[in-house]
Structure 1
Amino acid sequence: MDYLNPALKGKIILTYPHDDDAVLYQFWMLKEQYGWEYLEKLVANEPKWVRGTAWPYVAINNGWYAASFTTFWAFEPFPNQKTEFLLPEKDFFLTWFQTGAIPTQAKNKDAAKLYLNWMLSEEFQGTWLQFPVRYDIEAPGGYQSVLHHNTSPGDFRRWMIKRDLVERFRLQMRQLIGEPQGPTPVDIDYTVKP
């Protein structure tokens, strides 16, 4: 509920939820937990709306905005990084694991298997910046396994399958916030304050 704090008015930067499925799911979960009134109050707190989930991190790290829950970054700070990434202690947060597969018509199945095995290797998973998909490898930053937090990596995918519900909520968020404005995530100049 901190994002409703009047001291943060105009100092929050958020990704348009109706422009990004993962962010849309976060707003769905907020609505489910706190109700529409929470979302209306959040919008009334005048956050800066942007396109893409990298933009909020960059803007916060540059000191232009104070907070966001629609971005991502490494659990451990990089040298000269000005921001701190914090997971909620009680509230739900979004996680999902990227899936991989080898198509039956793949021309080089052995190479594909080698690649997927490397992606799941202790060597690769041990250098991951966030939760590794393997539960036998510790998360960086002193965080416990994803299983010990208020998140569910499979729920986002299950929610996305409910297309009618997702598209109806996307339309509701568009009506609440307005059409996404500004450059697309691939066209953003990260040196200019949004």
Structure 2
Amino acid sequence: MLYLYQLIVDKYGWDWLRRFVAQDVAWVRGTQEPADRVEAGTAAVALGTDGMLTPADGVRTRFVLPRHDPFMAWAQRAAILKNARHPAAAKLYLNWWLSKQTQSDFYMWSVRTDVRPHAGYRPSGSTTTPTSAACERFMADRALVERFKQQLTLYVGEVTGAPSPGWLGLHPGR
């Protein structure tokens, strides 16, 4: 999300962010809670969340992609650790997850170039879809990230609240 705000501030400036914050925005940690709030009807819109562009039956939330502004879409990373307890099971899982059938059935973009995007999805990497490589470059410049995070904090305050998955990860603070 930090990178998304970097893209927005780069395009529209800090004054845009000041005016955005003045609208009494509810700032929450993570990407699941915004989707849950919109689906529950307690929020009208969410800027940072994920979901299906073609909604499943019974889902009220609708995602709208900007025509000219950036939005985030990137592949999640996966690896089999060198000392994994069950490397064969991990390999089976990744083979299944990356299979053409599973990637075709999944509701998001595929990491495979031989799987066409679903209806309503632009090809990943289009001009309004920042690549994971661009995000990696941003995140690799730790001085830039920290400077931007501190500037953002001046506008929106410190990050508070429980993380979306309910925990901060395997090694928070390390």
Q: 1:113 aligns with which of 62, 70, 91?
A: 91
Mapped to 1, the partners of 2:116 and 2:148 lie a distance apart of 36
5 Å-filtered alignment, 1:39-188, equals 39-106=17-84, 108-151=86-129, 152-187=131-166
**Which one has the bigger helix percentage?**
1
Aligned-residue RMSD, C-alpha? 2.1
Q: CA deviation at 1:108?
A: 5.0
Mapped to 2, the partners of 1:33 and 1:27 lie a distance apart of 10
Structure 1 gap segments, 5+ residues each: 1-22, 188-194
Instruction: Report the equivalent of 2:170.
Output: none
8 A contact 1:119–1:125 mirrored in 2: yes
Amino acid at match of 1:160: M
Q: CA deviation at 1:53?
A: 0.9
Q: CA deviation at 1:44?
A: 1.2
Alignment CA distance shift 1:79-1:44 (3 Å)? same
Kindly provide the CA deviation profile for residues 121-140 of structure 1, in whole angstroms up to 9, marking residues without a partner as x.
01110121211111221223
Moved more, 107-116 or 89-98: 107-116
8 A contact 1:96–1:154 mirrored in 2: no
Q: CA deviation at 1:79?
A: 1.5
Q: CA deviation at 1:173?
A: 1.3
Correspondence 1:33 to 2:11: yes
TM-score, normalised to structure 1's length? Answer: 0.76
Mapped to 1, the partners of 2:72 and 2:44 lie a distance apart of 20
